[in-house]
A = this chain, B = another copy of it.
Amino acid sequence: MLTLGHAQTIAAETLAEGRRLGLAPLACVVLDRGGHILTLLRDENASIYRPEIAMGKAAGCLGMGFGGRELAKRAAAMPMFFNGLQAAFPSGMLPVPGGVLIRDADGGLLGAVGVTGDTSDNDELCALAGIAAAGLHADTGA
C-alpha cells in the first residue's frame, strides 16, 4: 500500500529534481491505486491549472492501466477512442509522458504520479527521480 509518507517523498523529490535540472516550475500529484490524491504540490510560480494537468496524466494512467508513453502510442493509433476517454474520465485523460504508474518490487500496482510544468520528457524524468527516492518502481509505459 502506498502511504502518505511515500507520496510526500515522491512529490518533494520530483519538484527538487526539477529545481536541480533548472526546469520550469512544476506541479506533481501522487494518487493511490483507487485514483485518490495522497499529495499534490504546485510551485507557487507554476501556472494555475497545473494541478488539473497533473491529475489528467496520473488518473489517465490508472484509468487504463498503462504508463503515459504507452497511452501516447495508443492515442496516436486510436484518436477518436482517446478523445472519448478524455470526456468520460472524471479527471480527464492526458496520454503523454509525465504520467507514470508506481509499482512494488513484484510489479504490483500501488498508484500513479502525474508531473507537469516543463516538457513531457522532462516532467517524466522528475517523476522517475521521485519514485526512485521512495524506493519504489516506475512504469512509464515505455
Hey, which bits of chain A sit against chain B, CB under 8 A?
1-4, 7-8, 15, 24, 32-44, 46-53, 55-56, 59-60, 62-65, 72, 75-76, 78-96, 120
Contacts and interface: CB of A to CB of B under 8 A. Distances in A.
Nearest to A37: B51
This chain: how many copies in the complex? 4
B42 A37 contact: yes
Given A34-B36, A84-B94, 9 more contacts: A3-B44, A35-B36, A49-B89, A49-B90, A60-B84, A81-B94, A84-B86, A84-B95, A90-B90
Given A34-B35, A37-B51, A78-B96, A1 B84 contact: no
Q: Which 6 A-B pairs have the closest CB atoms?
A: A34-B34, A49-B63, A47-B65, A88-B92, A40-B40, A84-B94
